């Protein structure tokens, strides 16, 4: 028996609490269920909506990771410019 939500907004609120790997793994599971085609229409719609919420959560995590990488790289390049070799020593 399925434990996935079967009503349109059921269960999407907790998506904001998921880590990247949890959200990604659940999204992969939902995609597999939808691709199998064995779900009734209402359940399929609920799964689709949860999948959209999970995809958005994953994108939020990836965007945050990109910002951290960009900030680290910007910090590295400014440190390199201000280092001992920058003044010609």
3-state secondary structure 11-80: CCHHHHHCCHHHHHHHHHHHHHHHHHCCCCHHHHHHHHHHHHHHHHHHHHHHHHHHHHHHHHHHHHHHHH
Checking if the pLDDT of 13 tops 90, the result is no
Checking if the pLDDT of 34 tops 90, the result is yes
Average pLDDT, whole number, for the chain? 84
Checking if the pLDDT of 22 tops 90, the result is yes
Distance CA 29, CA 24 (A): 9
Tokens of 61: 């995590």
Lowest-pLDDT range of 60-64, 69-73, 85-89: 85-89
Q: What pLDDT does residue 5 have?
A: 44
Q: What pLDDT does residue 76 have?
A: 83
């Amino acid at each position: 028996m399925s434990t996935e939500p079967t009503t349109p907004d059921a269960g999407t609120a907790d998506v904001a609490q998921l880590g990247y790997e949890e959200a990604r793994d659940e999204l992969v599971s939902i995609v597999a269920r939808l691709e199998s085609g064995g779900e009734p229409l209402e359940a399929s719609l609920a799964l689709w909506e949860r999948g959209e919420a999970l995809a958005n959560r994953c994108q939020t995590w990836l965007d945050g990771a990109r910002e951290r990488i960009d900030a680290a790289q910007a910090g590295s390049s400014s440190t390199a410019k201000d280092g001992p070799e920058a003044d010609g020593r």
